[in-house]
Amino acid sequence: MGGNQPINVQTFINEHPFGRFQWLVFFMCFVIVLLDGFDTASIGFIAPALLNEWHLGKPDLAPVLSAALFGLACGALTAGPLSDRLGRRSLLLGAVLLFGLACLGSAFSQTLGQLTVLRFVTGLGLGAAMPNAVTLMGEFCPDRRRATIINLMFCGFPLGAAAGGFLAAWLIPHFGWRSVLVFGGVMPLLLLMLAAAKMPESVRFMVANAAPFDRIQKTLARISGAALDAQRVVLTENASSDGRNDENGQKGRSGLSVTFSKPYIVGSVMLWLAYFMGLVIFYASINWMPILLKDAGLPLKSATLISALFPLGGVGAVLSGWLMDRFNANRVIAVCYGLTAISVYAIGQAAGNTGALVSVIFLAGVLMNTAQSSMPALAAAFYPTLGRGTGVAWMLGVGRFGGIAGSFLVAELARRHFSFADIFATVAAAGAIACVGLLIKQFAEPHASADPLGAQSVHH
C-alpha cells in the first residue's frame, strides 16, 4: 500500500481475513452475551429455593422477576446514546463492572427488597453491555460476514440460559441458591480483567470522532500490518436519500438525532415493533408454557421438559445470519416471524397430542429464536456509525418492554378463561405483526446515493 494512499476503514476490514485479533473481540463479546443469558435465566432457577428459605408466596416473587427486565430496558435506552458519545469500549467495560458487582452483591441480600434493587442494577449493567457488544463486534466485521458473526455471537444467549439451568441444578443442592449469584458475579469480573487489557475501541467510531491518528493506525495494524504504511484514514458510509449523511449532516450530531432523523425514523419504529412483538412471544412462552401444558393435562415433569425445547432453538440463528448475508435481510427475518406466528398458533391446536406438541414447540422455538437473535445484526447494518450504538440499544431497550408485556398478556388471558388454543392464537398474532413491521421497514429503507460519504478522515 503506497505511503499516500488513504485507508478506507471498512474496505480495509473487508479485504483482510477475519483474523486472531477479531476472533479475540468476538470471544469477549460472546462471553458478555453468554453471561446475559445465564443471568437472565438464573433468577427463575433460584426462585423455588427463595420461596422455601424466605417463606414467600408466588406473587411475592413478581417484583424480583421483573426488576431485571426493567433494568435491562433502562440500561439499553441510556447506554446507546452514551456509547455514540463516549465510545463503545468505555461503556462496555463500565457495564460489565456494574453487572458483575451487582450480581455478586445480590448473593448477599438479606431481604426481598434488597434483592429486587440489586436485580434492577444488574439489569442496568446487562442492558448497557449487550447492545454495545453488538455494535463493537459489528464494526470489526467485514460486510459479507457481519450478520453471520453477530448471530453466532448471539447464540451465547440461549447457551448461557441453558448453562444456567444445568449449573443451578448442581450448585443449589450443594451450596445453596446464593452460589448461583456468586458465580454470575465473579465471571464478569474475571472477563473484565481480560477486556480491560485487550478490548479495542471501534476503529469506525474513532475515525467518525476524529481520534488521534496513531491510535487508529495501531488498532488497524492488529488486523493487518499494511495499516502501518498509511498516512490518512477515511470512513465512507452510504448516504441516505435526502443527503443527511453528508459531512455537515451527521458529523457532530448525537446518536438520538440520527436514529430519529427523517431517513431512519420509520425503520427505527418498525425495528422496535418487531423486536417488541418477538419478546412478547418469547416471554409469554418461557414464563407460562409449563403451567399451560400442565393445565392442558400433561404431567408436570413432561410439561417442564417439553417447554425447555422452546429456548433451545436459538442456534438456528447462524443459518439465518448466513442467509441474511446473501439475500435481503429484512425479508429473511420477516419470513421467520411469519412462520413463527403459524407454528405458535399450531401449538394451541396440538393439545392432547404429545408427539405433535413436542415437534411444534421445538419448531416454534427454532423459528422464534432465529428471528429474534437476527434482529441486532439487522439493526447494526441499518444505522450509520454515529447513530449505530443508539439505534441498536434503543431497539433492544424498547423491545424489553415486550418481555414484560408478554408475561402480563398471558396472565390476563388466563384470568379471562381463554382456552389453551385461544391463548396461543392470541400470542401468535404478535409474530404476524412483527412480520408486517419488517416489510414496512423494507419499503422505508434509506436509499444509498451514488456518492458515498468520504467526509470523516484522519491524517497522520
| Spans of the chain below 50 pLDDT | 1-3, 239-252, 447-455
- pLDDT of 254 reads 63
Residues 431 and 290 in one domain: yes
Per-residue model confidence (pLDDT) at position 361: 86
Same domain, 196 and 77: yes
User: Residue 236: which H helix or E strand, with range?
Assistant: strand 232-237
Decide if 457 is inside a domain. Answer: no
Cα–Cα distance for residue pair 253/80, rounded to 1 Å: 14
Report helix, strand or coil for 234.
strand
| 303-339 residue pLDDT tens | 767 777 776 666 677 777 778 778 888 888 899 999 9
261 Cβ neighbours under 8 A, 6+ residues apart:
240, 244, 253, 387
The model's pTM: 0.79
459 lies in a domain?
no
**Residue 86 burial class via C-beta count within 10 angstroms: exposed 0-12, middle 13-18, buried 19 and up:** middle
End-to-end distance of the chain based on CA atoms, in angstroms? Answer: 15
- Over residues 234-278, the pLDDT tens digits come to 776 654 333 333 333 444 456 677 777 777 888 889 999 999 999
| 198 lies in the same domain as 260 | no
Radius of gyration of the chain (CA): 22
Q: Is residue 241 part of a domain?
A: no
Does some domain include residue 26?
yes
Q: What is the pLDDT of residue 457?
A: 53
What DSSP character marks residue 261?
S
Torsion (CA) 202, 208, 214, 218 in degrees, nearest 10: 30
Residue 250 resides in a domain: no
User: Is residue 3 classed exposed, middle or buried when 0-12, 13-18 and 19+ CB atoms within 10 A define those classes?
Assistant: exposed
- Nearest-angstrom CA–CA distance, 315 and 366: 8
| Residue showing cell 418481555 | 403
Instruction: Check residue 59 and report its DSSP letter.
Output: G
User: Which residues, 6 or more positions from 409, have their beta carbon under 8 angstroms from its beta carbon?
Assistant: 280, 284, 426, 427
Q: Where are the beta strands (DSSP E) in 25-97?
A: none
- The answer on 146 and 15 residing in a single domain is yes
Total number of domains constituting the chain: 2
Enumerate residues 6+ apart whose C-beta is below 8 A from 186: 100, 104
Out of 186, 208, 230, a domain closes at: 208
Do 294 and 424 lie in a common domain? yes
Dihedral (Cα; 273, 411, 286, 60), 10-degree rounding? 120
Together in a domain, 275 and 381: yes
Residues 72 and 184 in one domain: yes
Whether 460 is covered by a domain: the verdict is no
Which grid coordinates belong to 384?
450509520
Q: Cell for 43?
A: 433468577
As given in the structure block, the three cell numbers for residue 423 are 391463548
Q: Are 68 and 43 in contact (CB under 8 A)?
A: yes
CB 286 within 8 A of CB 112: no
| Same domain? 306 vs 391 | yes
Q: How far apart are the C-alpha atoms of 383 and 398, rounded to whole Å?
A: 17
pLDDT for 449: 33
β-strand pairing of 7-8 with 232-237: parallel
What are the φ and ψ backbone dihedral angles of 350, each rounded to 5 degrees?
Answer: -95, 5
* CATH number for 431: 1.20.1250.20
Residues 184 and 329 in one domain: no
Closest Cα to residue 104, out of 193, 180, 194?
A: 180
Helix (H) or strand (E) holding 420: helix 420-444
**Residue 311: closest CA among 148, 126, 160:** 160
Domain span at residue 305 reads 255-444
Question: Are residues 315 and 370 located together in one domain of the fold?
Answer: yes
Same domain, 108 and 201: yes
Which of 208, 243, 267 terminates a domain? The answer is: 208
Residue 298 is given by DSSP the state -
Q: Does residue 244 belong to any structural domain of this protein? A: no
Residue 425 located in a structural domain: yes
* C-alpha span between 115 and 108 (Å, rounded): 9
> Which residues neighbour 7 within 8 Å (Cβ) at sequence distance 6 or greater?
1, 220, 227, 230, 232, 233, 234
Residues 295 and 203 occupy one common structural domain: no
What is the rounded CA–CA span in Å between residue 18 and residue 149?
Answer: 10
